[in-house]
Amino acid sequence: MDQAAKKRLKAEFKAKRRAALCASLPMPLARLKALFSFLDRLDAPPCDHSLTQTRVFLHQQGLAPELVVPWLNEHGGYCDCEVLANVHDEVGDLIGWYVDEER
């Protein structure tokens, strides 16, 4: 297989992963980005090893925790810092968006 074919297959695979992830999102992408920014804000309290701040955000946004929390867990987000460390890393890479761009 030549380089061009490998590159095309890799791009197709990444596009399919991105589409599957986007289809699985339990909230609009803009709100997920806002969640990451909310958790990464300068005045955010230290992580208490729960989803306390995530749940605050979900409540403020009128989003259903019973739909969002299992999705976050599935992607490695079992507490607020893991939402940033694990979920954000996975989603940020696939959609090409990073928390640091906000600052």
Predicted local distance difference test score (pLDDT) of residue 99: 58
In tens digits, the chain (103 residues) has pLDDT values of 899 888 899 989 988 988 888 899 999 988 998 999 999 999 999 999 999 999 999 999 999 999 999 999 999 999 999 999 999 888 876 666 665 555 4
Distance CA 32, CA 15 (A): 19
Distance CA 18, CA 38 (A): 23
- 14, 30, 59, 89 from 34: Cα distances, Å: 24, 6, 13, 15
pTM given for the model: 0.81
- 18, 38, 47, 50, 72 from 43: Cα distances, Å: 32, 9, 12, 18, 23
